A and B are shown apart, each in its own frame.
Chain A
């Protein structure tokens, strides 16, 4: 039986992180130079970690699959980043940010981790301003804030509608500075293909140079995974085309536990699906819900007429519109958390009130905001989003309401980590979206950026030293060791197996088929039956993939189809894990909504007596059911309640 030790420090909630820092072990500057750290990923978490570790004096090897670290998908985050600065004097505090995050996560996150996140949030804003991140400001010269879902205060800092871009460019500039100094070595267009474990500790990775196709070995004293989430298992998602869960799965197969895979976030405000050939879904920032009002027709006949194209939304009078979020959740209105907003949209569309020719969309209307604030203000706030919408849909959102529909956006689950962000493989750490730690069953808006940078700038640079301090006597490993040899051999076999199938179908056709299974069975509303069906269908599809996929070209050169095939092969396993975890969790919480478990009003019904734990899955071998290991979530400081956004 595996037992998990979360290593939560002693003491009152507010003192835990300080206590930890006061007593952890450090590495002296001379020894830092002798220690190598591999960081996989250059998003907010990866880039900020690599830069900060480089500044401290470690030798960092930083990998990304794109042509430049600046392309990581953190760049696409639009709306903002939370911090408990209370600059608005509206009652915010570290405790309140902690509480909102715990509650927003439906009480399925670890108290101590979330408190630490809220605690370091303020330093992130300070750091970014010092780096030259051009946050929005008031005329007086001080920083401006806006509101996001799940909060009653304005604590979100933003840089136009491009906050993720600006924060990532801040981290990228810090990283570039270390590259120039020689403390960080960059490996762009490299993809990690395996974790190398020597005597129970992570000691390196195997990576493929995507330009030459060459498989290469890299050794280090510790490996940090910051490779993002696994939402692309759904094929259509708001993730970038190349975002994938493979690095996490490689660690999983080498002994790292995978926690809460079923917790995936469906974002309520995405541009609806428009056709078979569609490659991805575009997110419209949650910030739009500050001023946009969400509605569908009140009358079924109006909805039918809109679906048939014979009625325009602007022709529907005010009294015939159903602002269902304001109706159902008067206290939070259009700013309810994402899981709640997504389910409410689904409920209306299932009942036949959806719009668009598919009936699978709801309106996000700015007419009231334009009347109240004027066109200019609305344009200043959301201009780039409106432009993006118009370019895609060919409709002008200043004149006609936007149409939106939920889409998969973020994965709260990920590699299990302890308080130090270390996985169950010693020396292997996971940061940002790649780990499971802080968002419980649902992430609040503007909290992903916060967590990525918290992990990279302010948590990992401390906690990794506690591990590395007893590694100072360990000499650099040779990549000629048998463990590297074996890992490389295994990869080469896998690649030649894929190449030799020479079947009839492209990788994409399989990925799309997997996406359909996931969306229909493991999506916004799940049942025991749908999840079990998904498990069967995924297994059958996986078999077909390994018998009928066709990859053109050669493996030992640039080969985009081979890259995709390796990722999709892992998405099958991720899909299975998600479904398996969903079947196990006989309750509804956050993004995991099991139709069997809901209140009479249709809200998520948790079962704290039986499921107040993180479900962690341990790899037992290919095609074997993984072992379920539970980390009980003990709440010492907050009382668990039914989430209430009504009053």
Chain B
């Protein structure tokens, strides 16, 4: 059975993108181990509202690890200390009684803070808009089974496609690079016959947009792969580099 513990949370508070931020420390008592991390923040907010203070702002929505809305840098790790989960799937049982937990927003030049722990990840949408798709209109497409696809390719494409666009890779990277995010989409589509046709142009367009948006370069530290809640592999980055070089060479 889960035990109740007392904790302190050291939370980053920042009124707006240009405001100066600071840490505030709050005490929370009798939090059950089965409480999710975000439910703990709900309890904190309930406490703050009762004291007529403004609640801590943080992004969240599905609370089952798939929408990619929740973020948070917890004790120095994107999505906290556990592996292969998002913050909403992290539970208090991973922390010790009396522990002080430090909670920060994603920190990256490309993801400015909106308020407190909420950041602006529009840059990811803009990268996808540059070419993260196959150019087909609705209707007029062939039968779904017209082109067989090897199960291995389909499975590998699925693994790359499992990216939830949360931004943990960028937050984990000392260079603030979005290469894992970009390469996951490039790989997914390049692995499928439908997406192969535009693979080179896609890689070029997406990398170009990524560079324009202020993301850093990849120096193969593998921090992104380690912190990715969906276990997206850096072999995708190698694939992207190959496509990108190929595209540049054929220019």
Q: Is A132 within 8 A of B49, CB to CB?
A: no
> Is B34 interfacial (CB-CB < 8 Å)?
yes
Q: From known contacts A76-B62, A394-B2, A506-B50, infer whether A130 and B136 are also in contact, taking CB-CB under 8 Å.
A: yes
Q: Is A279 within 8 A of B63, CB to CB?
A: yes
Q: Is A461 within 8 A of B138, CB to CB?
A: yes
Instruction: Pick the contact of B64: A127, A283, A506 (CB < 8 A).
Output: A283
Looking at B55, B85, B194, the one whose CB has the most chain A CB atoms below 10 A away is B55
Q: Is B55 within 8 A of A560, CB to CB?
A: yes
Contact code string B148-168 (vs A, CB < 8 Å = 1, else 0):
111100110110011011000
Chain B residues whose CB sits within 8 angstroms of the CB of A553 once the complex forms: 54
Q: Is A68 within 8 A of B161, CB to CB?
A: no
Q: Is A85 within 8 A of B68, CB to CB?
A: no
Report how far A613 CA is from B158 CA in the complex, Å.
43
Instruction: Pick the contact of A279: B36, B82, B133, B154 (CB < 8 A).
Output: B36
- B119, closest chain A residue (CB): A67
How near does chain B come to A361, taking the closest CB pair, in angstroms?
14
Looking at B38, B46, B130, B136, the one whose CB has the most chain A CB atoms below 10 A away is B136
Report how far A394 CA is from B35 CA in the complex, Å.
12
Stretch at the interface among B120-128, B171-179, B232-240: B120-128
- A551, closest chain B residue (CB): B49
Report how far A162 CA is from B69 CA in the complex, Å.
16
- B161, closest chain A residue (CB): A134
> Is A71 interfacial (CB-CB < 8 Å)?
yes
Q: Is B89 within 8 A of A392, CB to CB?
A: yes
User: What is the interface size of chain A, counting residues whose CB is below 8 A from a CB of the partner?
Assistant: 80
Chain B residues whose CB sits within 8 angstroms of the CB of A279 once the complex forms: 36, 38-39, 42, 63
Chain A residues whose CB sits within 8 angstroms of the CB of B93 once the complex forms: 394
Chain B residues whose CB sits within 8 angstroms of the CB of A508 once the complex forms: 42, 46
> Is A211 interfacial (CB-CB < 8 Å)?
yes
User: What is the interface size of chain B, counting residues whose CB is below 8 A from a CB of the partner?
Assistant: 78
Chain A residues whose CB sits within 8 angstroms of the CB of B34 once the complex forms: 274-275, 394
Q: Is B64 within 8 A of A66, CB to CB?
A: no
> Is A148 interfacial (CB-CB < 8 Å)?
no
Instruction: Pick the contact of A141: B42, B150, B165, B194 (CB < 8 A).
Output: B150
Chain B residues whose CB sits within 8 angstroms of the CB of A241 once the complex forms: 60-63
How near does chain A come to B93, taking the closest CB pair, in angstroms?
7
Report how far A633 CA is from B119 CA in the complex, Å.
49
Q: Is A275 within 8 A of B32, CB to CB?
A: yes
Stretch at the interface among A168-176, A532-540, A614-622: A168-176
Instruction: Pick the contact of B91: A70, A211, A392, A457 (CB < 8 A).
Output: A392
Q: Is A126 within 8 A of B122, CB to CB?
A: no
Chain A residues whose CB sits within 8 angstroms of the CB of B161 once the complex forms: 134, 159, 166, 169
8 Å CB contacts to A: which residues of B53-74? Answer: 53-55, 57, 59-69
> Is A388 interfacial (CB-CB < 8 Å)?
yes
Q: From known contacts A135-B154, A162-B162, A552-B53, infer whether A75 and B62 are also in contact, taking CB-CB under 8 Å.
A: yes
Report how far A188 CA is from B46 CA in the complex, Å.
27
Report how far A290 CA is from B200 CA in the complex, Å.
41
Give the 6 A-B residue pairs with the shortest CB-CB distance, closest first. Answer: A141-B148, A173-B133, A130-B141, A134-B158, A134-B157, A129-B144
Residues in chain B within 8 A of chain A (CB atoms): 2, 32, 34-36, 38-39, 42-43, 45-46, 48-50, 52-55, 57, 59-69, 82, 84-85, 89, 91, 93, 114-115, 118, 120-122, 124-125, 128-139, 141-145, 148-151, 154-155, 157-158, 161-162, 164-165, 188-189, 192, 194-195
